Chain A
Amino acid sequence: NAGVMQNPRHLVRRRGQEARLRCSPMKGHSHVYWYRQLPEEGLKFMVYLQKENIIDESGMPKERFSAEFPKEGPSILRIQQVVRGDSAAYFCASSNQPGEGYTFGSGTRLTVV
């Protein structure tokens, strides 16, 4: 059981470029959550997805950010036209049942230069 796989581990983008973060949930888990952690802060909820559905995106910035969890393949968090304030660690978690014990991936550290 490989756990929750996130890639890349580190991503450097120039201002204005696009960032794509990938998350493969644990085998058998169909609930995926994305969180963002800014330096010296706790984690902030961004979006909750099930296969082909966005369940709750109340934590997602209204512009430039989008997420999907297609029928096949990993969940993708996409950030268009990145700015320096997007620099953070982005964590994905999955669960077997909605809201129950999360398993987190190792995160993607995004640096915008």
Chain B
Amino acid sequence: GIQVEQSPPDLILQEGANSTLRCNFSDSVNNLQWFHQNPWGQLINLFYIPSGTKQNGRLSATTVATERYSLLYISSSQTTDSGVYFCAVGEGGGADGLTFGKGTHLIIQP
């Protein structure tokens, strides 16, 4: 099956810093989503982005499908951005589940 690798595995930043999280995948995909799991365990969908670039406030994401990677940018970090960021991909046009990476554990210190 498809492999998903996220980097870095852990990241500690001061409030106000910017960060870039990376997701590499081993095969062509037609579904890619980024999620944030907060310290209480809730999973929040950040982006559905199988290709191209999207922005939502301080967050943006870019997927270069031909080169099999996606990037999540977080600007002006806040303590509420802490948690685990997961990249998840799918190959089957929706008729299958997503394969999740192991996540990037982000800690934003005040």
Contacts and interface: CB of A to CB of B under 8 A. Distances in A.
Interface residues on B, range: 20 to 34
A23 B100 CA distance: 21
Interface of A: 31, 33, 35, 41-48, 55-56, 58-59, 89, 91, 93, 97-104, 106-107, 109
B41 A56 contact: no
Contact of A100 (B43, B88, B92, B94): B94
A104 B35 contact: yes
A33 B97 contact: yes
A98 B45 contact: no
29 contacts: A35-B97, A42-B100, A42-B103, A43-B43, A43-B88, A43-B100, A44-B100, A45-B96, A45-B97, A45-B99, A47-B97, A48-B96, A55-B95, A59-B97, A93-B43, A99-B30, A99-B92, A99-B94, A99-B96, A100-B48, A101-B33, A101-B48, A102-B33, A102-B35, A102-B45, A104-B43, A104-B44, A107-B42, A107-B43
A99 B42 contact: no
B93 A98 contact: yes
Nearest to B93: A99
